[in-house]
Structure 1
Amino acid sequence: MSFADLGLIPELQKAVAEAGYTEPTPIQRQAIPIVIAGNDVLGGAQTGTGKTAGFTLPLLHRLARHASTSTSPARHQTRALILAPTRELAMQVFESVKTYSKYVPLRATCIYGGVDMNAQIQELRRGIEIVIATPGRLLDHVQQKTINLSQVEMLVLDEADRMLDMGFIPDIKRILGLLPASRQSLLFSATFSDEIKKLADQMLKNPQLIEVARRNMVSETITHVVHPVSSGMKRNLLAHLLRHQPDTQALVFVDTKIVCGRLAHFLERSGISADAIHGDKGQQQRTETLEAFKAGKLRVLVATDVAARGIDIDELPYVINFELPHTAEDYVHRIGRTGRAGHKGNAVSLVCAEEKHWLADIQKLIKLDIPQEIVPGFDPEPEFFEAGSRHRGKRGTGQSPLGDNSERSETPRRNSNAKPHDADPRGNRSGGSSQNRARNPRSMIAADGFDFSKPYQPKSPAPASDTVENTDKTPPRRPQRPIAVLLGGLGRK
């Protein structure tokens, strides 16, 4: 099947051919005809399978009737709204729209936070048919009355599950209230959950469900491997692995911004070209870093999950999880940056004992037993091989992965119900495993004979003779000085 068989207009077929695509992917074959027919869609597919083109191509096809070369803003009303959770993903969708609309005179723009609004306001005043936006910045423009959504005919929610994770649902509900009721709505996501289906029930009308693979399935072109390692040796193992693959690029994922910057600095000091991208960096810095990585000028990009949904790099060979994600679905999105469009990819995870339960959740979700390989010289903690051990404490309980525990600002995860270590009556921490403590119950009798298991009782009173004798030996007490009334006393009597 070719794109011509899907019913796309010749202008779009020409743009797709020039982009180097000849055959549609499974999600495109199913979604494009349904969207062209005007139906609502709930679409799910593996990351990197052409999901973006699956909704941008039919969207451009349906809006082609509004195409105009006129310079009047009145001839360019906002007809389509595409919402994305991150700036990177919004820019990626915008690039796709520009590529495919090459021969169709439709205007598009991308608006997101972190940059000055004035340039975006000027762009919107020119008249724009297709707006790609992050929810927060879109509402900023709504409040400033610089955008009119009353003529929107098509709404697209891309990566809807990520919007749930990032807390965008209240913003999305506000935006839905600003849109016409008679519109076509598309909801696309790489993973589905019950919350996503509830959102779909609210915004979609008789949607057609499209799943080209089972839920949360990862690409078969990706090779998975886990390297068990102690938390304190993670960064050294990462540098070791990168040195043994000197000609390959790698996208390294971490959990926090602090670890992100420090890990990139450590790799630079180790002679490996690296930089960091996270939410605290300005948009200009993030764009420059991402462009340098795409151009091959940068070998390693260390990123937080803010970049997991917006990085699209051809033939990226390696994705490395320096720290496992706390949500199993995020693993699918992370490794979806490699093995795209049928290319081979590698997903490497460095796992310490504290992360074993997250690894188990990931394997259960993707229904895959990931092989484990210990790198010589980088052994994990002995607890890693304990059957059924579940370390839910703070990462890096011993030595921090970055070698500096004192400045680590990360808070404990999934450990809100954890209890402090048991202490004996003398204040010493109890040692040994829970099984040993069960076999050797702790004594409640202190060294001086006090029984902590019984309620407190005062000692029996001493004999009267002793009391009199002790009273005689006690020096007489000083009379209390009178305290002024203003200070709370009774004054002089």
Structure 2
Amino acid sequence: MASKRKLKELEKDEPVPKAVPSYTDDEDSSDDDVAANGATNGAADVDMPDADKVAIDPKYATFYKRFQVAASHIPLSGASADTQPDAEETEEAVPVEEQQQDNSLASQLKRKEEQVVPADLVPLPLPTRKQTIEGGADDTAAPRLSKKRAAELAAIPKWLAEPTHVATETRVPFADLAGLSPRMREILTKLDYKEAFAVQAAVLPALLEGVNSIAPDVRPDILVNAATGSGKTLAYSIPIIDALASRVVPRVRALVLLPTRPLIQQVAGVLQSLAKGTGLNLLTLGAERTFRDEQRLVSSLQPDIIVATPGRLVDHIRSQTPGFTLAHLQYLVVDEADRLLNQSYQEWAEVVIAAIETTTVSAPDYQPVYARWQRTVQKLIFSATLTRDPEKMAALRIRRPQVYVVGGGATADASVAANDRLEFSVPPTLTERLVSVRNASVKPLRLLQILLHAAEPITDYVLVFVKSNEAAARLARLLTLIDEQVFHRGLVIERCSGEVDPQQRRRTLQAFAAGKINVLVCTDLIARGVDISQIRHVFNYDLPPGRREYVHRVGRTARAGQPGTAWTLATDHNEHKYFWNAIGDRIFRENGRAVERVHEAELIEPEGTREYYRQEDGYKIALEQLGTEVTTKKTE
């Protein structure tokens, strides 16, 4: 007890220290330093009352002093010093009554708290509900995106989400394009190529710029989204041939990847026509030859350009075909990229890119620097519906990309929603019609009635797309029987589907291109592989699975600026709803064009007439004949 009483007396007699150590981790700093420097590191100046002027128990004075110092270092949110009025102005503006208010500690702390502005809680400005785009059009007219789709598009890299837009009507004479060699100008003139289309006018200057350069600088990769028939093949074939025409030693310097064999033949034909007289060796790799025959050709021919399917190319890489190497590759072209990236084809992207990056030309360190120079591979990605999925694009390891979208004009809105529509577009010269068929059971008859009852009968170069191989075989035969029983036009109708032998498919396509076949019933197998300029009418007998397939189907016509018509047959309410929601309203069309609505009554004989019933009766006989043929075939 005595010791406690003595301790209280000592605490009572002990004077309050004037300098209290700062409440900080820095042992060298003190309150004297803070007061002398007048620095609070941007902290708010908290006017705490002095311990001597406030009735505080002396034994708590030390802790209160520490609290004062610590509080002076705490920054308080508020308006900046630049926006605060001067101290003198503030004092003049304070009424006398407020100056005489209570100066107690609680009152001062309350006033300080009221001055704090919670800046972090100020809401961000929200966009208005309706925003207009150039030309005054209401943005609400664009199709609405689901939350999931909007999130996916928001994750797209900026270089892919904000491409360079090129107007479809752009035309530039080949004579005005800088960088073309005199030999190439002469070849183009002989082939009757006078003007470069939009995709060529946009891409050729970027590619021709580096044709004559030998510097090993990284060249930008080119990504192009352009409608079918817009001239993409010529856009990459011209600079490749011009760049390789002066080569001395044959090496694989250009590699073109395509999804189907018909496309391989088509692209190879364009490359050969441009390379005439250069001595360049071109080799196609597909299923038309055995794998061992291709290996012998690679070793003996020493190709400069290879056009191949991804699967067969992967086979040669993994089998280490003698003489086959990508060490000297300069150009990697991925045509119809959306289909190739959507389908793995033995994980071709990873295999090919790894082969390109690991098989580099090596040289001893003592050789000159130029002996180890190697130009980086430039990737040229083309598609009518170019994917903007970052995960799929990552497999190609794009570098310094330049993205071009042909369609919508050079001043098209580059917003996420607009680019989502521009990803799927149709040629500007295409006329689209949706035909309403009341009864699905008479669709084959209605198809022929549309063909033959038109003001100018449609009897040549007609493509009809169906959903399956079985449907193609059935419809092709039924249309032939209907023509024999009802119309007597002698139409030649054939099918081209997956179950047909590849050699037979090739002969069928050649006959169709020559005009020997009037109507070709096919599946999506050749939706990307037919390039016949005479095609003027494409029919979607069965609705396509989605807008991507629709764009490629109707892209078989209206190619290279020529006119064309796409007909889609829809029966019940569900098919109409599906067409508008999944296809019709989600595809970009220039100049405000829209799909025309047509009713079957406008295209067939009036119901109730003698001719109407004659055609109906003939159709029933054709159905019975088809049934008999199918039954007979099954019993054999």
- Aligned residue pairs total 377
Q: Secondary structure at the match of 1:210?
A: strand
Listed as ranges, the matches of 1:119-198 within 5 Å are 119-125=293-299, 126-146=301-321, 147-168=324-345, 170-180=347-357, 182-195=376-389, 198=392
Moved more, 287-296 or 174-183: 174-183
Residues 115 and 283, structure 1, Cα contact 8 Å, conserved in 2: no
Q: How far is the alpha carbon of 1:94 from its aligned partner?
A: 0.8
For residues 322 and 333 of structure 1, do their structure 2 counterparts lie closer, same or farther at Cα, with a shift above 3 Å needed? Answer: same
Q: Secondary structure at the match of 1:136?
A: helix
Which amino acid is the alignment partner of residue 203 of structure 1? R
Residues 315 and 344, structure 1, Cα contact 8 Å, conserved in 2: no
Aligned to 1:233: 442
Whether 2:267 is the aligned partner of 1:93: answer: yes
Q: Secondary structure at the match of 1:219?
A: coil
Q: Secondary structure at the match of 2:245?
A: helix
Q: How far is the alpha carbon of 1:210 from its aligned partner?
A: 1.1
Whether 2:215 is the aligned partner of 1:3: answer: no
Aligned to 1:285: 504
Q: How far is the alpha carbon of 1:169 from its aligned partner?
A: 7.7
Listed as ranges, the matches of 1:49-448 within 5 Å are 49-66=230-247, 68=248, 75-113=249-287, 115-125=289-299, 126-146=301-321, 147-168=324-345, 170-180=347-357, 182-195=376-389, 198-199=392-393, 202-214=396-408, 215=422, 216-229=424-437, 230-244=439-453, 245-271=457-483, 272-353=491-572, 354-360=574-580, 361-367=582-588, 369-376=594-601
2-structure distance, mates of 1:372, 1:138? 46
Q: How far is the alpha carbon of 1:305 from its aligned partner?
A: 0.9
1-structure distance, mates of 2:287, 2:546? 26
1:29 to 185, 195, 201: 201
Q: Secondary structure at the match of 1:152?
A: coil
**Cα deviations by residue, 1:223-260 (Å, 9 ceiling, x for unpaired):** 11111123222111112223332543201111111111
Which amino acid is the alignment partner of residue 208 of structure 1? Q
2-structure distance, mates of 1:246, 1:149? 49
Q: How far is the alpha carbon of 1:208 from its aligned partner?
A: 0.6
Q: How far is the alpha carbon of 1:202 from its aligned partner?
A: 4.1
**Cα deviations by residue, 1:24-67 (Å, 9 ceiling, x for unpaired):** 1111011011122343101111111111101111111222231x
Q: How far is the alpha carbon of 1:144 from its aligned partner?
A: 3.4
Q: How far is the alpha carbon of 1:310 from its aligned partner?
A: 1.2
Which amino acid is the alignment partner of residue 35 of structure 1? L
2-structure distance, mates of 1:151, 1:92? 25
1-structure distance, mates of 2:396, 2:387? 15
Residues 161 and 196, structure 1, Cα contact 8 Å, conserved in 2: no
2-structure distance, mates of 1:313, 1:200? 34
For residues 331 and 39 of structure 1, do their structure 2 counterparts lie closer, same or farther at Cα, with a shift above 3 Å needed? Answer: same
1-structure distance, mates of 2:254, 2:577? 43
Aligned to 2:118: none
Which amino acid is the alignment partner of residue 40 of structure 1? D
Bigger radius of gyration, 1 or 2?
Answer: 2
Residues 81 and 156, structure 1, Cα contact 8 Å, conserved in 2: yes
**Cα deviations by residue, 1:103-158 (Å, 9 ceiling, x for unpaired):** 32211122112543344333322110100111111122223333322221110100
**Cα deviations by residue, 1:278-303 (Å, 9 ceiling, x for unpaired):** 22222211110110000001111111
TM-score where L is the length of structure 1: 0.72
Which ranges of structure 1 fall in alignment gaps of 5 or more residues? 69-74, 380-399, 408-493
Which amino acid is the alignment partner of residue 362 of structure 1? I
1-structure distance, mates of 2:286, 2:470? 24
Residues 349 and 396, structure 2, Cα contact 8 Å, conserved in 1: no
Which amino acid is the alignment partner of residue 286 of structure 1? R
Residues 245 and 275, structure 2, Cα contact 8 Å, conserved in 1: no
Which amino acid is the alignment partner of residue 329 of structure 2? V
Could you say what the CA RMSD is over the residues aligned between the two structures, in angstroms? 2.5
1-structure distance, mates of 2:343, 2:444? 28
For residues 178 and 334 of structure 1, do their structure 2 counterparts lie closer, same or farther at Cα, with a shift above 3 Å needed? Answer: same
1-structure distance, mates of 2:238, 2:479? 41
1:46 to 227, 252, 269: 227
Which amino acid is the alignment partner of residue 262 of structure 2? E
2-structure distance, mates of 1:104, 1:81? 18
Moved more, 155-164 or 233-242: 233-242
For residues 170 and 110 of structure 1, do their structure 2 counterparts lie closer, same or farther at Cα, with a shift above 3 Å needed? Answer: same
Choose between structure 1 and 2: higher helix proportion: 2
Q: Secondary structure at the match of 1:372?
A: strand
Which ranges of structure 2 fall in alignment gaps of 5 or more residues? 1-171, 211-218, 359-375, 409-421, 484-490, 605-622, 631-636
Residues 11 and 103, structure 1, Cα contact 8 Å, conserved in 2: no
Q: Secondary structure at the match of 2:598?
A: coil
**Cα deviations by residue, 1:161-208 (Å, 9 ceiling, x for unpaired):** 122344448222222211137311111111133327841674220111
Residues 15 and 103, structure 1, Cα contact 8 Å, conserved in 2: no
Residues 249 and 316, structure 1, Cα contact 8 Å, conserved in 2: yes
2-structure distance, mates of 1:301, 1:6? 42
Q: How far is the alpha carbon of 1:339 from its aligned partner?
A: 0.8
Residues 477 and 626, structure 2, Cα contact 8 Å, conserved in 1: no
Q: Secondary structure at the match of 2:385?
A: coil
Residues 273 and 298, structure 1, Cα contact 8 Å, conserved in 2: yes
